Amino acid sequence: MGALRIRRKLGREIWRKYAKIAVVRNPYDRMVSMFWWRLNDDDRQMLSAAPFDSVRDAFGEWLARSDAGKN
């Protein structure tokens, strides 16, 4: 749940009294996860059995054409 949603549920007074801590995921790890998540089942199965170089190349191509990291 995002911070704005939590603040709306708690109300401003309680929100101001609490300390807020954020964990930011490693951006590289996030992109690798997104790559695997967005693959269709056939491609995921093929890449799961492929040599690392093939997976790395497919990931690089996906990054180059993807809008995943452009926000």
Note the pLDDT tens digit of each residue in 17-54: 999 888 888 989 989 999 999 999 999 999 999 999 99
pLDDT band at 70 (very low <50, low <70, confident <90, very high): low
pLDDT at 27: 87
Grouping H, G, I as helix, E, B as strand and the rest as coil, residue 64 is helix
CA dist., res. 54 & res. 46, Å (int): 10
pLDDT band at 2 (very low <50, low <70, confident <90, very high): confident
Q: Is the pLDDT of residue 6 over 70?
A: yes
CA dist., res. 52 & res. 32, Å (int): 13
CA dist., res. 33 & res. 4, Å (int): 25
Q: Select from 33, 41, 29, 32 the least CA-distant residue to 60.
A: 32
